Amino acid sequence: QPFKVLATETINRKALDADIYNAIPTEKVDGTCCYVTTYRGQPYLWARLDRKPNKQAEKRFKKFLYSMEDSKEFIWNMDEDFKPVPECWIPAKEIQQSSGNPLPDENGHIPGWVPVEKNSKQYCWHSSVVNYEAEIALILKCQADDPGLLEISSVPLSDLLEQTLELIGTNINANPYGLGSKKHPIHLLVPHGAFEIKNPPILKHSDILSWFEGCREGKIEGIVWHCNDGHLIKLHRHHLGMCWPIEETHLNSQPVVIAVNRTKYDCEFEPKCLFNHFSKLDGQRFCRLKDIKFDV
């Protein structure tokens, strides 16, 4: 991007129209976006893959951006301007279409998804959190009975259909939550909106800044407000000129319990897979995510 995004003192018109004052504030988790939908007749995890313009088209687009204000006025040649994507690629649901073609967003990208195959080399960290034989995924969320306790559990992929999630872990975005190690990497899926902020700041620039700086609950990457009309309003620490990652995150200040029971499934877990490692820790509780270690 040829620009830096900074938050102003004024609430955006789109946020007001979406009734942000009555929205649910949740923690923005630092990972890579995923999606669960069907593929080959069964629930599958899909990885984010944006269709991007080729070099010539990107040059034209950037030149246009510098000379004009609205990127929506740029005219794309949908047949020639974009890099090829795999045949199984699908555009994201919210993308606008014209004459059957998905339209690029304001950055010139077409957000979309590709299915994560078992033992995929390109998406090996994605494939480590799903087991297609048992049709389950490794999920991190708050325990239902105790919101102050995190839980790592194996969840049926069918329960996650049409949901988006964030993949976090050892080899994602420099691992801001300190999960696992190079020798024994740990990756988990977090459903979007999983961590509701119980004591959010008042919607004023100064209050939000103070909340991020001085509140334990504010030791997060950002806030995502889930509005009643489906809109998501995002605010990142960087939008306030603040640093991320930080040394101690809110996610790592909470205890976590493991709930991965291998006896619930007919299939055998492979010895080196995450499901097998976590099943050996079933029922165990740790002070922090950082403290989880595999005895291998």
The whole-chain average pLDDT of the chain stands at 95
Q: Are 28 and 196 in contact (CB under 8 A)?
A: no
Give the model confidence (pLDDT) of 160-185 as tens digits: 999 999 999 999 999 999 999 999 99
pLDDT at 296 over 70: no
Under the banding of pLDDT at 50, 70 and 90, the label for residue 85 is very high
The DSSP code sequence of 115-137 is: E--TT-STTHHHHTTEETTTTEE
| pTM of the entire predicted model | 0.95
Q: Model confidence over 139-161: pLDDT tens digits? A: 999 999 998 999 999 999 999 99
Cα-based distances in Å from 96 to 36, 81, 287 = 20, 17, 45
